[in-house]
């Protein structure tokens, strides 16, 4: 049963307008529980029955675990424009139904241009060539013999949140707008190790990465990124990389737009200049108002999104609620996230959940006393380079609404009197 505390005292110290409370409540809640009545129901609970599953043996053991049948979190897969070309499109992470920072492998977002190839790892090869002293080829077995390391990193499609470029706000939920971001622990071999083995020619400045999918998707990226933190990934959250995410080998360029993290990696060619592939000219460039387009926009800039509440997750009446979401920056760590319940007029600092890692998502939580009146929820992230997530007005003033990619402005959920959330521009 829910508590009804109309006209009640807020549970915590006010931190901003329209019911935003200090994040200190999360530290104090444990001490207060049972004293001030946080989480306690005023009416008595029903007597506790012994459930049927405690009276008979459970299911047999299985080889590969699955979620409970009561859980419905699946990826949203919008219908393709052309049913004849299945495999072009997206599968979107249900970010509003997940918590923590790690995306389960079956729910990691997927954007592909020509379907998921069925690759036999024994036949797959990686070749490194071009401006190197010794062109080399690697079997997957050979790659597995190198020293491996892991890092937790987000991947975000450059087209994520692109729906917010629309001039009018559309009736879409969190995954439909923001579901092309996921975060996993990736394990593999540092690309720099293999480049050292091949011997980089001083003339090399860029690398062309190419997948083994039907489209042989290819992108150029700077050699400096390869030497900095690029990882050739064999494992995703502890198990082999999933086919939709690049099995058996995926390039990870931490913080860079998703498309550059080439899946099904088969070839790395060192060159002196970018090859100007289709996906770095006709796509993934940001068209500005004056007709010029930004090219080579690599890091995903600082951004955050509230996942709860969000459309489809209605509030159950005026009460205390935790607002939760994700923040990330392709340039480093999240330093701060602020949350507003009054459309950005005032802001309260959110609690950042550890670990707060560079180029990974950070889970944030804020405390809110909803009084049942209208509210517009927003989150604003700042990274450790000092970059602050811009308002929609600031963002549009800089680049207009023609960009299609890299939308990173503050997003808004309006809460109506019924507690329903909807996408609005504010």
Task: Name the site residues for other proteins (rule: CB under 8 A).
Answer: 81-82, 84-85, 113-114, 127-129, 134-138, 142-143, 145-147, 193-194, 196-198, 208, 210, 214-218, 266-267, 269, 271, 273, 275-278, 281-282, 285-287, 289-298, 402
User: Distance between CA 354 and CA 351 in Å, rounded?
Assistant: 9
- CB 172, min distance to other proteins, A: 20
User: Distance between CA 303 and CA 379 in Å, rounded?
Assistant: 9
The DSSP element (H or E) to which 100 belongs, if any, is none
Q: What is the largest CA-CA distance in the chain?
A: 77
Cβ-based nearer residue to other proteins, 41 or 85: 85
Cβ-based nearer residue to other proteins, 22 or 220: 220
Task: Match 């480049």 to its residue by tokens.
Answer: 195
Spell out the SS3 assignment of 297-346: CCECCCEEEEEECCCCCCCCCCEEEEEEEEEECCCCCEEEEEEECECCCC
* Residue 71 CB neighbours (<10 A): 9
User: Distance between CA 94 and CA 92 in Å, rounded?
Assistant: 6
Cβ-based nearer residue to other proteins, 407 or 413: 407
Collect all residues with Cβ–Cβ distance below 8 Å to 390 and sequence separation of at least 6.
398, 408, 409, 410
- CB 40, min distance to other proteins, A: 50
Cβ-based nearer residue to other proteins, 237 or 277: 277
User: Distance between CA 364 and CA 351 in Å, rounded?
Assistant: 6
- CB 183, min distance to other proteins, A: 24
**In degrees rounded to 5, what are phi and psi of residue 290?**
-85, 5
Cβ-based nearer residue to other proteins, 23 or 267: 267
User: Distance between CA 123 and CA 274 in Å, rounded?
Assistant: 29
Pair type for strands 362-370 and 375-383: unpaired
Cβ-based nearer residue to other proteins, 2 or 282: 282
Cβ-based nearer residue to other proteins, 207 or 323: 207
């Amino acid at each position: 049963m829910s508590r009804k505390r109309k006209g009640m005292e807020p549970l915590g110290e006010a931190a901003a307008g329209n019911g935003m409370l200090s994040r200190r409540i999360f530290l104090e809640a444990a001490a207060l529980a049972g004293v001030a009545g946080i989480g306690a129901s005023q009416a008595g609970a029903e007597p506790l029955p012994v459930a049927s599953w405690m009276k008979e043996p459970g299911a047999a053991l299985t080889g590969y675990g699955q979620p409970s049948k009561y859980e419905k979190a699946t990826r949203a897969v919008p219908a393709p424009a052309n049913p004849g070309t299945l495999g072009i499109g997206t599968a979107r992470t249900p970010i509003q139904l997940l918590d923590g920072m790690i995306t389960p492998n079956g729910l990691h977002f997927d954007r592909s241009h020509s379907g998921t190839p069925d690759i036999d790892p024994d036949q797959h090869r990686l070749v490194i060539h071009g401006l190197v002293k010794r062109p080399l080829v690697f079997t997957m077995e050979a790659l597995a013999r190198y020293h491996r390391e892991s890092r937790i990193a987000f991947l975000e499609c450059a087209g994520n949140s692109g729906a917010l470029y629309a001039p009018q706000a559309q009736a879409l939920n969190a995954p439909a707008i923001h579901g092309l971001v996921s975060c996993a622990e990736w394990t593999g071999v540092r690309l720099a190790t293999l480049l050292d083995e091949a011997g980089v020619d001083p003339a090399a400045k860029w690398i062309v990465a190419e997948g083994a999918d039907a489209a042989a998707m290819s992108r150029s990226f700077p050699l400096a990124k390869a030497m900095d933190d690029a990882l050739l990934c064999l494992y995703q959250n502890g198990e082999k990389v999933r086919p939709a995410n690049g099995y058996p080998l995926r390039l990870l360029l931490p913080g860079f737009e998703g498309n550059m993290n080439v899946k099904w990696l088969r070839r790395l060619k060192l060159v002196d200049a970018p090859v100007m592939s289709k996906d770095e000219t006709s796509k993934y460039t940001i068209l500005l108002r004056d007709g010029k387009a930004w090219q080579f926009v690599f890091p995903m800039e600082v951004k955050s999104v509230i996942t709860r509440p969000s459309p489809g997750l209605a509030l159950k009446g005026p009460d205390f609620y935790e607002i939760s979401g994700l923040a990330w920056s392709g340039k480093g760590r999240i330093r701060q996230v602020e949350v507003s319940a009054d459309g950005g007029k005032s802001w309260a600092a959110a609690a950042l959940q550890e670990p707060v890692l560079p180029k990974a998502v950070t889970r944030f939580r804020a405390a809110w006393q909803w009084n049942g009146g209208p509210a517009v929820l927003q989150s604003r992230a700042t990274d450790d380079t000092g970059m602050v997530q811009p308002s929609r007005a600031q963002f549009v003033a800089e680049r207009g609404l023609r960009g299609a990619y890299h939308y990173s402005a503050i997003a808004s959920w309006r809460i109506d009197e019924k507690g329903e959330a909807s996408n609005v521009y504010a």
